[in-house]
Structure 1
Amino acid sequence: MSLRDEALHYHRKHTGKLGMVAKVELKDGYDLSLAYTPGVAEPCMEIHRDKDLSFKYTCRGNMVAVITDGTRVLGLGDIGPEAAIPVMEGKAVLYKTFGDVDAIPISLDTKDAGEFIKAVRMLQPNFAGINLEDISSPKCYDIEDALKAQMDIPVFHDDQHGTAIIAVAATIGGLRLVKKRIAEVKIVVNGAGAAGTAIVQLLLYAGAKHVTMMNSKGAMYEGMEMSRINRVQAALLSRTNLEKKQGGLAEIAERADVLIGVSQPGAFTTEIVKSMNADSIVFSLCNPDPEINYNDAKAIGVRVAGTGRSDSPNQVNNVSVFPGLFRGAIDVAARQINEEMKLAAVYAISGIITNEELREDYVVPNVFDKRVAPAVAAAVARAAIKTGVARTIIDPEEVKINSISRINIA
């Protein structure tokens, strides 16, 4: 049976990948009186007096919505909200398995940003966090910014920030191995969409000083024709490509130390990669076909290579990010996910691998490493408390211990 046939049979057999399981049993009338009438009135009135108690008395406290409009699904493009459900459903399974976070897939039948924003905002009383997913760029920026401003729970576009967190964590791991400093190396990010701009922003926040962002036309620089850039890209140009170099990837990647791709399959040619500095680091994150595959990159002489795929070493995948990130955020009932929390996740992931364990094919932890989600959860909770966005103050080590007991990785 082919993978296609097996995947279709798998989804059809189970009628999708999610179901509803009650946390409590109803064995008799007394159980019913606690779960429903008359006992249910008591938490209702407590929440009426203080709506934040909904995080403690209801499923909201462990519930995240995975929401899309189906306009940019995986590498499939604008396939519509119904066709996007299997991906949102799969994301919910990952949340539960890796972080014991309950997640509900929601596909909204609108391409209008205003309608999307209004619908998500009205869902706020049900959830501890919102994971935006597979929304086309640049609309995704406006949606996330508006929802973050209007909502009192974390709103996180994973295609942007989850990818950025794991890409920067992998970069830090690679730089540790080759003994280079992030503030000194030349970094090129090929691709200036949602993921590319978020990677650049987080690299800068992590201390990178020499970053150049590429779009399909070439190197981006401050003062370039404004019709070719969006507001998010424009905001980054005063801090990137400070020499205002122009040209294509072949010119810009020459003597680079780090090359990160979120662009097109095959974009990193042999000539481009060979022109980089010694001890080069190349992460090709285009899925399912990378800018250059792992074996080819290593054969050319790349010191540290990685892709988004699970069939080669150094998988750079946001599965290592969002379960632990939201576990930590909702354990302290955070009001947002800020830059400090994102950077805390970066260092939690990169810190999993000790200097003794670090090697060319192991600069980023495996997605099935049971240490990752608890470490990320504790670091994110600590950062949320420190920056004042947590409603609940608890010991981050308690978050870590609880996370270890809750994850369901075989």
Structure 2
Amino acid sequence: MTEQDDVLKLHERHTGVLNIASELPVDDRKDLARAYTPGVAILSKLIASHPELKDRYTMSGKLVALITDGSAVLGLGNIGPAGGLPVIEGKALLYKDLAGVNAVPISVNQASVDETVRTIKNIAGSFAGIHLEDIAAPRCFEIEDRLAQQLDIPVYHDDQEGTAIVVLAGLINAAKVVGKSLNSLKVVINGVGASGLATAKLLYHVGITHLTLVDKNGVITKNDGRYNRYQREFAAKLGQDDSFKNRQLSDVIRGKDAFIGLSTANLMTAEDVGRMADAPIIFALANPIPEIDPEIANNAKAAVIATGSSQYPNQVNNILVFPGLFKGLLSAGIKHVGYGLQAAVSNALASMIVNPTAEEIVPGVFDEGVVKTVTNALLAYAGKASKALVTD
């Protein structure tokens, strides 16, 4: 039996990887009366008068909506809403198994930003949080921004915040390994879609301001109409003016301390690594094939190498973030996934590696304590935010 046959048979046998389990037994009339009718009438009347109580008395207080339109699935591209379902179903399984968080996978048709936002708003009352997944840029930026402004529950895009958090955690420890100050690093980010732009913004927030953004047409500049307004606006903030236009990765890699690839396979060469500063840091995170083969990067004297694959050391993977993150968001009652919160989680993950080495800059996906560390980071962050609010 091939690996493909094995996977198909497993998922077919169970009709997916999720099920719904009841919290209460219904063994007799008394159980039925309490769990359903007539007992639910008590709840319904109370919640009708006080809608905010739904989160105390119904599943809406602990349920996350995992939403995709399948327009930008990692390694597969635009495979549509149905094609995106296995991904979010798998993530819902990880939420439950790793963090005890209840999440339900929902696919929505690829519609206008207005219609997508309206659809999610219309169902948001049934959930305690929204996890967006595999929605293509630039639509994902506007969808998340508008939902975050209009909903009173946390909205999180795993391709943006999840990636950014793990990349920063790895970079914190990579800088320690090579003996350089984090804020002094000169960084090239290649691939400035949802993940790349979110990563750039988080790095900038924590003080890494020597950033160069490169995408398929070369360096992104503030007036280049080939790029979307979100990319151009951030390029302007970085001072990437028209003098950078059409310059390619090989043109701007010289003297850089770190390369962060969130793009496509085999676009970086050994010669590119050789043009970088001493002890270069290489995060080649494209999946399933990285921007440069780790062996090639190693032979070119890269000091630290990370990929998105479990085949190599230093797997930079969002699974380190999202289970514990939403457990912490729900436990702490946090409503917004801002940069301060993201940085706090990055630092917590980085701190799990007491003595970073070139082969260990982030925890392993199955390392004990990852979910607890992320959850506790959010609880601590909420405590600080609360104290600051009182003090101010």
Using structure 2 for the length normalisation, give the TM-score: 0.93
CA distance in 2 between partners of 1:174 and 1:53 (Å): 46
Residue correspondence of structure 1 range 332-347 to structure 2 within 5 A? 332-347=332-347
Residue 231 of structure 1 is matched in structure 2 by 229
**C-alpha deviation, 1:371, in angstroms:** 1.1
Distance 1:211 1:44, change over 3 A: same
Gaps of 5+ in 2: 388-392
CA distance in 2 between partners of 1:202 and 1:291 (Å): 22
Residue correspondence of structure 1 range 383-394 to structure 2 within 5 A? 383-387=381-385
Residue correspondence of structure 1 range 10-409 to structure 2 within 5 A? 10-222=10-222, 224-225=223-224, 227-240=225-238, 245=244, 247-355=247-355, 358-387=356-385
Secondary structure in structure 2 of the residue aligned to 1:31:
helix
CA distance in 2 between partners of 1:77 and 1:60 (Å): 32
* 1:233-278 Cα deviation digits (max 9, x unpaired): 1221233256864521112111111100011100111110121112
**C-alpha deviation, 1:98, in angstroms:** 1.8
Q: Note if contact 1:324-1:374 (Cα within 8 Å) is conserved in structure 2.
A: yes
CA distance in 1 between partners of 2:163 and 2:382 (Å): 20
Secondary structure in structure 2 of the residue aligned to 1:5:
helix
* 1:380-407 Cα deviation digits (max 9, x unpaired): 2332344359xxxxxxxxxxxxxxxxxx
**C-alpha deviation, 1:13, in angstroms:** 1.5
Secondary structure in structure 1 of the residue aligned to 2:162:
helix
**C-alpha deviation, 1:50, in angstroms:** 3.4
Secondary structure in structure 2 of the residue aligned to 1:325:
helix
Q: Note if contact 1:342-1:380 (Cα within 8 Å) is conserved in structure 2.
A: no
CA distance in 1 between partners of 2:140 and 2:129 (Å): 17
Which is worse superposed, 199-208 or 247-256?
247-256
CA distance in 2 between partners of 1:304 and 1:279 (Å): 8
**C-alpha deviation, 1:79, in angstroms:** 1.7
Residue 390 of structure 2 is matched in structure 1 by none
Q: Note if contact 2:67-2:108 (Cα within 8 Å) is conserved in structure 1.
A: yes
Q: Note if contact 1:306-1:316 (Cα within 8 Å) is conserved in structure 2.
A: yes
**C-alpha deviation, 1:325, in angstroms:** 0.8
Secondary structure in structure 2 of the residue aligned to 1:211:
strand
Distance 1:361 1:241, change over 3 A: farther
Secondary structure in structure 2 of the residue aligned to 1:347:
helix
Q: Which amino acid aligns with 2:370?
A: V
CA distance in 1 between partners of 2:173 and 2:47 (Å): 45
Q: Which amino acid aligns with 2:75?
A: G
Q: Note if contact 2:332-2:378 (Cα within 8 Å) is conserved in structure 1.
A: no
CA distance in 2 between partners of 1:84 and 1:124 (Å): 20
**C-alpha deviation, 1:192, in angstroms:** 1.2
Q: How many residues of Structure 1 are paired with residues of Structure 2 in the alignment?
A: 386
Q: Which amino acid aligns with 2:113?
A: A
Which is worse superposed, 58-67 or 229-238?
229-238
Q: Note if contact 1:66-1:132 (Cα within 8 Å) is conserved in structure 2.
A: yes
Q: Which amino acid aligns with 2:319?
A: V
Q: Note if contact 1:211-1:241 (Cα within 8 Å) is conserved in structure 2.
A: no
Gaps of 5+ in 1: 390-410
Q: Which amino acid aligns with 1:231?
A: R
Q: Note if contact 2:71-2:110 (Cα within 8 Å) is conserved in structure 1.
A: no
CA distance in 1 between partners of 2:95 and 2:162 (Å): 13
* 1:337-382 Cα deviation digits (max 9, x unpaired): 2222111111111111113xx2111001101112111111111233
Distance 1:342 1:172, change over 3 A: same
CA distance in 1 between partners of 2:47 and 2:350 (Å): 40
Distance 1:334 1:41, change over 3 A: farther
* 1:290-314 Cα deviation digits (max 9, x unpaired): 1013233222211110100111110
Q: Which amino acid aligns with 2:365?
A: V
Q: Which amino acid aligns with 1:255?
A: G
Residue 7 of structure 2 is matched in structure 1 by 7
Which is worse superposed, 364-373 or 46-55?
46-55
**C-alpha deviation, 1:112, in angstroms:** 2.2
**C-alpha deviation, 1:319, in angstroms:** 0.5
**C-alpha deviation, 1:88, in angstroms:** 1.2
Distance 1:39 1:385, change over 3 A: farther
Q: Which amino acid aligns with 1:371?
A: G
Which is worse superposed, 19-28 or 190-199?
19-28
Which is worse superposed, 72-81 or 113-122?
72-81
Using structure 1 for the length normalisation, give the TM-score: 0.90
CA distance in 2 between partners of 1:192 and 1:318 (Å): 17
* 1:32-62 Cα deviation digits (max 9, x unpaired): 2221123223333443343333222222222
